[in-house]
Amino acid sequence: MRKKVWVRGMATLFDIQEGFLSAILDSQNDIIADEILGHGVQERLNICRNNTFITLRQALAQNFPVLCRLVGQQFFDHMAGKYIQKSPPTTPLLMTYGVKMPEFLEDFGAVDSLPYLADVARLEHLWNRSFNGPDTAGFDLETLNKVDPEKFEGIIFKLLPNMQLMSSIYPVLDIWFANQAEEGASININLDRGPCHLAIFRKVQEVEIMPLDPASHIFFELLSAGKTLGFATEQITEKYPAFNLQEALQNILQNNLIVGFEFTK
């Protein structure tokens, strides 16, 4: 690929920023920094590059501790370096850095023998999103008792804004639990035990991961998408005639997943 040539004195601020970022992420592009900033900056650039990669690798290791443990620190650092080059952060907040890690792992040939890694990374990222998600003011469930039963089909529940949903063909929750403590490392994981469906949400400062059956997972998805209770129930029972609406609603209410409701217009 032909490198872009920068002309000193004509470079815009965007050119300078783009060139500097390119030089930080790719050591082969040091020439760009010289062309924009002047000669003799490479030593300082190397220090900045090293510090940047160290900081971002540490952030990724903190955000994906199970992933790091599964592949080992040395390989994780190598993998993280490749990820940083491909997907540098777009915000100074690194608490949830790694949104594209699952997709990166799906295309990273070095982990083809561990196909479940992408979904493990997806679970960890959603855990982070829930932990760092918005707080809610709470909800008085007694207000539901005042709703006319004939209007329930048209009710639209507003679920926790920090709740995340995911599905995997692998038993990622078993893998996640097995790697939360040293003693968990001896747990045998049956990769054929999947699929699994999960709801990840935060109560106060504690993130919880709740396993769901396939019908409940679709039910949660429909409610999260703003569908009415009547529509969601109809869609589920067509595919899962044995779906128990009362149990599903009790599950939602007991876990305080509702923050409000409204009626279809």
pLDDT tens digits, 56-101? 999 999 999 999 999 999 999 999 999 999 999 988 889 989 999 9
Residue type present at position 225: A
The CB density around residue 200, as the number of other CB atoms within 10 Å, is: 24
Sign of the CA dihedral with 98 first, then 103, 105, and 109 last: negative
Per the CB < 8 A criterion, the answer to whether 69 and 179 are in contact is yes
Give 72's contacts (C-beta < 8 A, 6+ positions apart).
none
Nearest Cα neighbor of 210 from 254, 161, 155, 169 is 254
The pTM score is 0.81
pLDDT band at 205 (very low <50, low <70, confident <90, very high): confident
- For the chain, the domains span 133-265
> How much is the pLDDT for 31?
53
